[in-house]
Structures are given as C-alpha cells and as structure tokens.
Amino acid sequence: MPAPAVLSIMLIEDSDEDAQLVREMLDDRGYDYVLKRTDRLSSGLRLLEEEFFDVLLLDLGLPDSAGFDALTQIRNQAPPLPIIILTGLSDEALAVKAISLGAQDYLVKGNFAADTLYRAISHSIERQRLETERERLILELQEALSKVKQLSGLLPICASCKQIRDDKGYWTQVEVYMSEHTEIDFTHTVCPECTKKLYPEYYDAIWGDKGKKPDK
C-alpha cells in the first residue's frame, strides 16, 4: 500500500546535517510532505500531544535520552504511530531489539538512499495499519468469547414471569437480555396455546391443524 498522498512526518534528530539529509531524500523522492523536526525527546513528546503524524523518524542518540528510552516513551504515549529508527550504529542485535520494542523499521545513517527511506516509510505505515486492525479484531473476538462464556453457565430465570437476572443483579426480560448479549433480534408473535387462551375466536382461523401438539 502506498504512503498517504500528503505525508505528515515528525523527525526527532539533534544533528542539523542528518536532518537536512532526510529533507533532501524526501524531496528527491518527490514526496508531498510536511516535516516537523525537534532536536529533543521532550519537545517531540509535547508535539505528539498537539498534532497527528503519519510516521516518526527517530534518532536514538538524543541529548535528553539514552539507548531505547526515547522509543519506549514515544511508544507508550502514541501506540499506533509507526516509528522508524535512525542510528549511526550498524548492529543487527540493536535492530532486532528496536523491532521488539515497537519500531517498524531500523535504518543506519549513511547506509540508505532516498528509495530505501521511501520504502521504509510506506511499509511502516502499512504494517502499523495492519497491526492496529489485528488488535481491533482480537479485541472484538475476546468480547464475543466473553459473551459466549457468560451465556454458557447457569442463568437465573424467574419461574413465574420468566425474567432473567443479569450479572449485576438486575432483572430484565428474556428478549432484552438476549439482544444485549447475542446477535439475536426478536420478533413477537403468539404461540398456539396462548392464542387459544387469549383469542379463542381466532384460533382455528390462525392455526388450524398447525396448532396441534405432535403425538408422543
């Protein structure tokens, strides 16, 4: 899936030279983008509270954070935001750890070109979208399973009025309870026995032989 038509990008990078290089790569690839840059983690966190971004380019070597501290804090504050790590260290173990902590990609400064940055941004946005969708589906499944589990045990029902007692101790009609806990929609009618009792003059016209109980 391609990146959004107009990219909103945050860059947290304390090096003016590296920041300029990122801008040049974005311009070279023909991006229509808006780039907001900060040189500190603290100012980046404040900006995240104020604005929406499609992707975050994050330098790990910031003056006010050490190691993966910046990644962890940003991930805690903005879980759905795709994050691409920018670092001067070419270390496979660090790359693996970055991904395990929630980064979508890991680029080594000086070792990637404009096309690589483009693919990293596009793929990171799509992977984050799929991950968010997967989490949503899992949550819906958990809620559905919870409802099934709730309906699988003993269900207190009044022997007289047939109301059901819910898990909060309130009594409610069967159809209301079932509608709230399942995908069932109720339509109302009158069974043959009730028709005969309440509307005997209409019984034969409505039910006829259909109202008879089967022979045992």
Burial (0-12, 13-18, 19+ Cβ within 10 Å), 216: exposed
Same structural domain, 106 and 176: no
Same structural domain, 172 and 121: no
Domain that holds residue 203: 164-211
pLDDT tens column, 3-35: 557 889 999 999 999 999 999 999 887 778 999
Specify if 157 maps to a domain.
no
Mean pLDDT for the chain overall: 84
Residue 215 reports pLDDT greater than 70: no
Q: How far is CA 148 from the centre of its chain?
A: 22
- Which pLDDT value is given to residue 76? 92
pLDDT tens column, 142-191: 777 776 665 666 678 887 777 888 778 888 887 787 777 776 777 777 78
Task: Return the CATH number at 40.
Answer: 3.40.50.2300
Specify if 198 maps to a domain.
yes
Q: Comparing 22-31, 58-67, 88-97, 191-200, which segment has the lowest mean pLDDT? A: 191-200
What does pTM read for this prediction?
0.64
pLDDT tens column, 100-149: 999 999 999 988 999 999 999 999 999 888 888 888 888 887 777 776 66
- Which pLDDT value is given to residue 211? 53
Residue 140 belongs to what H/E stretch?
helix 114-152
Q: Within the chain, what is the greatest distance between any pair of CA atoms?
A: 93
